[in-house]
Chain A
Amino acid sequence: MMRPSGRFPLSLGYAGAACALAAAILCGLYFGDVRMSFAEMFDVLTLGPLAHPGEAFKHGVVWRIRMPRVIVSCISGAVLAAGGVIFQAVLKNPLAEPYTLGVSSGAAFGASCAILVGHGWITPAAFLGCAVSLAAVLFIGWRGAQSDLSGIILAGVIVGNIFGAGMTLMKAVAGDKVSAIVIWLMGSFSAAGWHDVIPLLMSLLVVLSLCLIYYNELDIFASESDAASLGINVTAARTILLAGTSLAVSFVVSRFGVIGFVGLIVPHFLRSLFGPAHRGLLMTSLLGGAALLSAADTAAKTWNEMPAGVLTVLVGGPIFCFILWKRK
Chain B
Amino acid sequence: MEAKIAVLSVEKVSVDIQGTRILHEISFGAGTGEVLVLLGPNGCGKSTLIKTILGLCGKVSGSVSFRGRDISPHNRKKQALTFAYMPQNTASHSSFTVLETVVMGRYPHLEIFGAYTKRDFEIARDAIIRTGLSGFEGRIMASLSGGEAATVALARSLAQDTPVILLDEPMSSLDPGHAFAVADVIKELADSGKLLIVSMHDVNMALNHSDRLILLKNGRIFGDMPAAQADRDILAGLYGIPWEIWRTPKGHIAAIPDRD
Chain A residue nearest to B82 (CB atoms) is A231
Could you tell me if B93 and A271 are in contact, using CB atoms closer than 8 angstroms?
no
Asked whether A4 and B97 contact (CB < 8 A) given A223-B141, A230-B108, A231-B81, the answer is yes
User: Contact at A2–B99, with CB atoms within 8 Å?
Assistant: yes
Option from A229, A232, A276 in Cβ contact (under 8 Å) with B94:
A276
**A277-B100 in contact (CB<8A):** yes
Please judge, given known A-B contacts A2-B97, A2-B99, A233-B76, whether A226 and B92 are in contact too, CB under 8 Å: no
How far in angstroms is the closest Cβ of chain B from A80? 22
What is the predominant secondary structure among interface residues of chain A facing chain B? loop
Contact flags B97-120 to A (C-beta < 8 A → 1, else 0): 101110011011010011110000
B 80-99 binary contact with A (CB < 8 Å = 1; else 0): 11011101000011111101
Contact A219 B104 (CB under 8 A): yes
Specify which chain B residues have a CB less than 8 angstroms from the CB of A55 in the assembled complex.
none
B107 to A231, Cβ gap below 8 A? yes
Complex: how many Å from CA A38 to CA B99? 48
Q: Does B243 contact A (CB under 8 A)?
A: no
Instruction: Check B95–A275 contact: CB distance below 8 A.
Output: yes
Q: Which of B54, B79, B96, B137 contacts A222 (CB 8 A)?
A: B96
Given known contacts A222-B94, A229-B85, is B113 in contact with A213 (CB within 8 Å)?
Answer: yes
* Cβ contact of B96, chosen from A5, A231, A276, cutoff 8 A: A276
CB-defined contacts of B100 to chain A, threshold 8 Å? 1, 219, 223, 275, 277
B6: shortest Cβ distance to chain A, in Å? 23
Q: Are A229 and B139 in contact (CB under 8 A)?
A: no
Is A226's CB under 8 angstroms from B85's CB? yes
Q: Which residues of B contact A2 (CB under 8 A)?
A: 97, 99, 137-138
CB pair B77–A4 under 8 Å, yes or no, is: no
Q: Tell whether, in the assembled complex, residue B93 and residue A224 are in contact, meaning their CB atoms are under 8 Å apart.
A: yes
Contact of A216 among B78, B79, B92, B107 (CB under 8 A): B107
> What residues on B are CB-neighbors of A230 within 8 Å?
80, 104-105, 107-108, 160
Inter-chain CA distance A277–B84, complex, in Å, is: 23
Let me know if B108 and A4 touch, CB within 8 A: no
B124 to chain A, nearest CB (A): 10
Interface residues on A, range: 20 to 34
Q: Is the CB of B101 within 8 A of A4?
A: no
* Cα–Cα, bound, A40→B101 (Å): 52
Assuming the A-B contacts A229-B80, A231-B79, A271-B95, are A3 and B104 also in contact, with contact meaning beta carbons closer than 8 angstroms in the complex?
A: no
Could you tell me the distance between the alpha carbons of A230 and B105 in the complex, rounded to whole angstroms? Answer: 7
Interface string of A211-245 (1 = CB under 8 A from B): 01100100110111110111111000000000000
Give per-residue flags for A200-220: 1 if the beta carbon is below 8 A from chain B beta carbons, else 0: 000000000000110010011
Given contacts A1-B100, A2-B137, A271-B95, contact A225 B156 (CB under 8 A): yes
Interface core residue of A2, A212, A213, A271 (most chain B CB under 10 Å): A2
B140 at the interface (CB under 8 A from A): yes
A48 to B84 Cα, complex, angstroms: 58
Q: Are B104 and A220 in contact (CB under 8 A)?
A: yes
Complex Cα gap A179–B73 (Å): 55
Q: Does A279 contact B (CB under 8 A)?
A: yes
Task: Return the CB mask of A1-30 against B: 1 if under 8 Å, else 0.
Answer: 111110000000000000000000000000
Contact of A276 among B84, B95, B114, B138 (CB under 8 A): B95
Question: Given A1-B99, A216-B110, A223-B104, A231 and B92 touching (CB < 8 A)?
Answer: no
CB distance from B236 to the nearest CB of A (A): 35
Q: Kindly state whether residue B254 has any CB partner on chain A within 8 Å.
A: no
Of B85, B92, B116, B139, which is within 8 A of A224 by CB? B92
Pairwise interchain contact A223-B92, C-beta atoms closer than 8 A = yes
- Please give the distance in Å from B91's CB to the nearest CB on chain A: 8
The answer to the question of B129 belonging to the interface, with a C-beta cut-off of 8 Å to chain A, is no
What CA separation (Å) do A292 and B182 show in the bound complex?
Answer: 49
Could you write out 26 A-B pairs with CB less than 8 Å apart?
Answer: A2-B97, A2-B137, A4-B97, A4-B139, A213-B113, A216-B110, A216-B116, A219-B96, A219-B100, A220-B104, A222-B96, A226-B87, A228-B76, A229-B80, A229-B85, A230-B105, A230-B107, A230-B160, A231-B80, A231-B107, A231-B108, A275-B96, A275-B97, A275-B100, A276-B94, A277-B96
Apart from A216-B104, A216-B114, A230-B160, what are 10 other A-B pairs with CB-CB below 8 Å?
A: A1-B100, A212-B113, A213-B113, A219-B96, A219-B100, A225-B104, A229-B56, A230-B80, A230-B105, A232-B107
